[in-house]
Amino acid sequence: MDLTRKLEILADAAKYDASCASSGAARKDSRDGKGIGSTGGMGICHSYTPDGRCVSLLKVLLTNACLYDCHYCINRRSSNVQRARFTPEEVVQLTLDFYKRNYIEGLFLSSGIVRSADHTMEQVIEVARQLREVHHFRGYIHLKTIPEASQALIDKAGRYADRISINIELPSQQSLDRLAPEKNLTNTKQAMHGIRQRIDESLEAKKAARQILNRPRVKAPAFATGQSTQMIVGADDSSDALVLHRADELYREVRLRRVYYSGFSPIPEPSVLLPIKPPPLVREHRLYQADWLLRFYGFDVGELLPKEEPNLDLDLDPKLAWALRNRAVFPVDINRASQELLWRIPGLGTVNVARILAARRWSRLTLADLQRMRVNLKKVMPFIVAADHRPRIALLESTHLRQHFLPGPRQLELNFNAPPPTTPADAAMALSGQL
Amino acid sequence: MTITAQIQPTFEAWRSKARELLRHGVAPENVDWVDASQTASLLAEEPSCYQTTPNASVKVPADFLRLAANVCAHTDERRFDILYRLLHRLTIGGEKHLLSMPSDRDMHQCNAWARAVSRDIHKMHAFVRFRLVGLNESNGREQFVAWFEPEYRITRLAAPFFEKRFASMDWSILTPDACVSWDGEKLTFMPGMSRHDAPSADAHDDLWRTYYRSIFNPARLKVQAMQSEMPMKYWKNLPEATIIHDLIGSSEKRVCTMIATPERPVKPMPDNAYLRTLHQRRTKS
Ligand code: SF4
């Protein structure tokens, strides 16, 4: 099989993994003239595919042959997909060739499980080892690890990688038993704890080195700087509350960098055990918004998803939905309120809150000030008091407030085949369907 | 009286002129900033027109200099003028906290320009595509050339990133307004060139398109999301952009085929020792 065909199969097999991040790596570069690459700070999206996803890393599987039978996965043993396998050298060469042309930030390597967890891990690690030790590659490496692999191998993977991850896949063992019978939640969590410990140790060691040598730049990370995971939504009947409680637990206990939520999408090799109809894409989006509120805005899962409403409102963003349930908190005076309270105002992000806090030391802020900070006034106005504004209390108490925020008629997706309507009148006609 | 400040449109030129004006206490409304690269005739400079003797040097926060470097790379004609007004207010005007007032008009304008410029820099880091053109026989270094069309004058600001990342290859980036190349020792800047001076293809472009096609999931078409991050103005220099239309056009059919595919039955577990241990543990617990 030629390289092009292998790339086709093994990239196709990897595309259901949503994570693409290449940020948060330790700072390194190749100005010493040896090797190639750099990382540090924000990762870069080098392209976008028409599914709106960022292309940052060469994301491939080493092989798509797999012993496991995870029913949401195109590579499961029950699938009839064509199988292929890269040699480590082929992946190394592809990574370097793509990297030098500035197509990518680095490599995201994963693999179907062949023979055993340890055997598979060894193959994956070999690619990373060659990149780092033979070619002095300083770009980004993300390795997917297998929870059942031995701790020694996971340690080794972490020494070469900037990020390692284990997919939790589904939020409960019950769902795993049905859809991914070889996977085990306890093992996964244990392995994540192991990784967290190594990351912590390495951070400590770096801190100590900095204090002794007073040299802020460490050459290569002694261990990956972060771990992340992915949860599939819509393949089982778990509620958003279950999904977010699991995510929250992982953020707390093993300090994950990110949980990726991947809406189950139809695959070319459907399983009898899975729903034919995928969940609406917006569910995934709402989960990301809620996840953001947990991590950066001081919300609890219970606040976003009270017992009687275990699923997120698909029509409204979760902060707005919370505000509508907790109207007594509002209006909030933007010239006086604490940071924590400002964070809770629908339509205000952490960046704008920081701007407000800085600017209000010098003057009392008006709506025009907010507009210049590019705040969405329509959204915040019912909830805030500004120097020149008080919301109509009647509106805040009315049952119509929800109506006020519901999205208008859905925006049409841009379609290349149909030319866009030419005049605004045409456009209005097209939307209303009237002549 | 009005002073004409005629400068090359770079941050360095603006900074040294602004420093000079500020030391003489010249008010912003008395300066007429002119882009020397845009005017045909060189206006006569009036060196002795200052009415006061110079003050000692002026200090500004580093944040301001960072902002100014980005603003100067913008192409709006009013940038030098507004930037100088900001500088004047910040120093002689005594408005020390101006930088933390994003709601101030001048700050708002400069921030908007700086944001547009830094976005353009970011996109340049992302969308430059190097093409292999040869090998330096004497030292074995590979030589790459890229053609890029940024929206603003950002080549200088964007270059250090490529130096850090691609230090071990020889490379040049050509743009219509400035070019930069790296030989392993130093960055060299040159005047702009035309796209005909750059190679138009690379043997790896096809492989890259293969990857791009395969990593795309037709079941999640979101064309607007793609376009807001990768505006069409950049497409003409991206090798992968040539297949975008086809990918979008064929996606519906591909999804229909997936949904129409008969569901695959579950195959029995193969005889494998490792798998057995996994299942044994399960039945035990
Ligand atoms: S282990 Fe499961 S999810 Fe991973 S490749 Fe195999 S079947 Fe797919």
- Distance, CA of A125 to CA of A131 (rounded, Å): 10
Report chain A residues whose CB lies below 8 A from the CB of B275.
Answer: 67, 182
- Residue A210's pLDDT band (cuts 50, 70, 90): confident
Asked if the model's pLDDT at residue A410 lies above 60, the reply is no
Atom of ligand 1 at shortest distance to CA of A73? 8
Query: Residues B64-111: pLDDT tens digits?
Result: 999 999 999 999 999 999 999 999 999 999 998 899 888 889 999 999
Report chain A residues whose CB lies below 8 A from the CB of B278.
Answer: 148, 182, 184
Q: What is the dihedral of CA A68, A71, A73, A78, to 10 degrees?
A: 60
Query: Residues B110-165: pLDDT tens digits?
Result: 999 999 999 999 999 999 999 999 998 888 899 999 999 999 999 999 999 999 99
Mean local confidence (pLDDT), A366-378: 91
Asked if the model's pLDDT at residue B43 lies above 60, the reply is no
pTM summary value: 0.88
- The reported pLDDT for the residue numbered B56 is 65
Query: Residues A320-358: pLDDT tens digits?
Result: 999 999 999 999 999 999 999 999 999 999 999 999 998
- Residue A108's pLDDT band (cuts 50, 70, 90): very high
Q: What is the dihedral of CA B221, B224, B225, B231, to 10 degrees?
A: 130
Return the number of other C-beta atoms located less than 10 Å from residue A418's C-beta: 9
Asked if the model's pLDDT at residue B40 lies above 70, the reply is no
Distances in whole angstroms, Cα of residue A17 to Cα of each of A110, A214, A325, B38: 10, 40, 35, 51
Return the number of other C-beta atoms located less than 10 Å from residue B40's C-beta: 4
Among B20, B39, B27, B119, residue whose Cα is nearest residue B74: B119
Task: For chain A, give the mean pLDDT.
Answer: 87
Report chain B residues whose CB lies below 8 A from the CB of A369.
Answer: 103
- The reported pLDDT for the residue numbered A429 is 35
Task: For chain B, give the mean pLDDT.
Answer: 90
- The reported pLDDT for the residue numbered A420 is 35
- Length of chain B equals 285
Q: How many angstroms separate the CA of residue A88 from the nearest CA in chain B?
A: 18
φ, ψ dihedrals at A255, nearest 5° = 45, 55
Comparing alpha-carbon positions, the chain B residue that sits nearest to A12 is: B214
- The reported pLDDT for the residue numbered B42 is 56
Mean local confidence (pLDDT), A91-103: 97
Comparing alpha-carbon positions, the chain B residue that sits nearest to A370 is: B103
* Rounded-to-5 percentages of helix, strand, coil across chain A: 40, 10, 45
Query: Residues B224-255: pLDDT tens digits?
Result: 999 999 999 999 999 999 999 999 999 999 98
- The reported pLDDT for the residue numbered A119 is 96
Please answer yes or no on whether B279 and A361 come within 8 Å at the CB atom: no
- The reported pLDDT for the residue numbered A124 is 97
Asked if the model's pLDDT at residue B53 lies above 80, the reply is no
Q: Is the CB of A75 under 6 A from ligand 1?
A: yes
Query: Residues B155-176: pLDDT tens digits?
Result: 999 999 999 999 999 999 999 9
Please answer yes or no on whether A48 and B226 come within 8 Å at the CB atom: yes
- The reported pLDDT for the residue numbered A196 is 93
Q: Which domains does chain A have, with CATH numbers?
A: 3-279 (3.20.20.70), 302-432 (no CATH)
User: A75 alpha carbon to ligand 1 midpoint, in Å?
Assistant: 6
Q: What is the interface size between A and B, counted as CB pairs within 8 Å? A: 233
Mean local confidence (pLDDT), A166-170: 93
Q: Which two tokens stand for residue A406?
A: 């519901």
- The reported pLDDT for the residue numbered A276 is 65
- The reported pLDDT for the residue numbered A203 is 87
Q: How many angstroms separate the CA of residue B257 from the nearest CA in chain A?
A: 8
User: A141 alpha carbon to ligand 1 midpoint, in Å?
Assistant: 20
- The reported pLDDT for the residue numbered A430 is 34
Report chain A residues whose CB lies below 8 A from the CB of B142.
Answer: 100
Of the listed ranges A48-62, A76-90, B56-70, B157-171, the one predicted with least confidence: B56-70
Query: Residues A391-401: pLDDT tens digits?
Result: 887 777 777 78
What percent of chain A lies above the pLDDT cut of 90?
69
- Would you tell me the crossing angle of helices B105-127 and B62-73 to the nearest 10 degrees? 70
Q: Give chain B as a 3 state SS string.
A: CCEEEEECCCHHHHHHHHHHHHHCCCCHHHEEEEECCCCCCCCCCCCCCCCCCCCCCCCCCHHHHHHHHHHHHCCCCCHHHHHHHHHHHHCCCCCHHHHHCCCCHHHHHHHHHHHHHHHHHHHHHHHCCCEEEEECCCCCCEEEEEECCCCCCCHHHHHHHHHHHCCCCEEEEECCCEEEEECCCCEEEEECCCHHHCCCCCCCHHHHHHHHHHHCCHHHCCHHHHHHHCCHHHHHHCHHHHHHHHHHHHHHHHHHHHHHCCCECCCCCCCCHHHHHHHHHHHHC
Asked if the model's pLDDT at residue A212 lies above 90, the reply is no
- The reported pLDDT for the residue numbered A428 is 35
Asked if the model's pLDDT at residue A432 lies above 60, the reply is no
- The reported pLDDT for the residue numbered A106 is 96
Cβ neighbours for B256, distance < 8 A, ≥ 6 positions apart = none
- The reported pLDDT for the residue numbered A416 is 36
Query: Residues B20-36: pLDDT tens digits?
Result: 999 999 999 999 999 88
- The reported pLDDT for the residue numbered A411 is 42
Query: Residues B170-200: pLDDT tens digits?
Result: 999 999 999 999 999 999 999 999 988 888 8
Nearest CA to ligand 1 atom 4: A112
Please answer yes or no on whether A272 and B126 come within 8 Å at the CB atom: no
